[in-house]
Amino acid sequence: MPLYPALMHLKAQRRKALAVLVDPDKADETHLSRLVELAVTAGVDYFFVGGSLLLSGRLEATVQAIKVQCTIPVVLFPGAATHLTPAADALLYLSLISGRNPELLIGQQVLSAPGVKRSGLEVLSTGYMLVDGGAPTTVSYISNTTPLPHNKSDIAVSTALAGELLGMKLIFIDAGSGAPRPVPTGMIHAVAAQIGIPLVVGGGIRTPQQAYDAAKAGADIVVVGNVLEEVPELLPELAAAVNQASGHLVGAG
């Protein structure tokens, strides 16, 4: 079954999902194998694979290593037009709609389009929004864009709505990898209340409580990455927290 209808079904059922973000530059074989094992046990919904730089050339090998060990869908989270492999199940086709850098609004997409078409990957057009996470991050530096202000939910709502009205299938709000603070729950709630497409939230989520708060505020998919590079054993608690949030929504069940 294609991923997007499944995502929309989860949203209709008000069930929250957890995605584990894997950076191929940081995932050695032993760590990755352990992480996949924990993900299967914990009932993780998706693996997102990618990063801002990808200097190691291990993108395809990382995707293949995950798929050999489990059936959890693997979705590419690219930082550039070259970050592509048909070994994955789907691709977040990102447009950085929170910034004004034309290269990341449409330039990289033009360069990558022929390869994406040939790849046969399911393409999930995604309005990507970078939010100030309390410190400069790799993605803000590489993208050469200014993040949305942490306390300006109205700007975030208008940006997300513009992405939906332009035909995006997903909205992804990100504080950036390793951000000191996650996307504020008030912003998540405000955006989720106004859009009808799935909302993905990541960056700076390091505890089960933060994962729970993001999901309960309205994130349909919560993305966790950095903390699992340090403490992979936290994954079952993170998954349980996101699952718990599904049952604590008004009108759930």
What digits encode the pLDDT tens for the residues 134-178?
988 888 888 888 999 999 999 999 999 999 999 999 999 999 988
Question: Read out DSSP for the chain?
Answer: --HHHHHHHHHHHT--EEEEEE-TTT--HHHHHHHHHHHHHHT--EEEE--S---SS-HHHHHHHHHHH--S-EEE--SSTT---TTSSEEEEEEETTS--HIIIIIHHHHHHHHHHHHTPEEEEEEEEEB--SS--HHHHHHT-PPBPTT-HHHHHHHHHHHHHTT-SEEEEE--TT-SS---HHHHHHHHTT-SS-EEEESS--SHHHHHHHHHHT-SEEEE-HHHHH-GGGHHHHHHHHHHHHHTSTT--
Residue ranges in the chain modelled with pLDDT below 70: 248-253
Q: What is the pLDDT of residue 121?
A: 98
Q: What is the pLDDT of residue 249?
A: 66
Q: What is the pLDDT of residue 81?
A: 86
State the pTM of this model. Answer: 0.95
Q: What is the pLDDT of residue 82?
A: 87
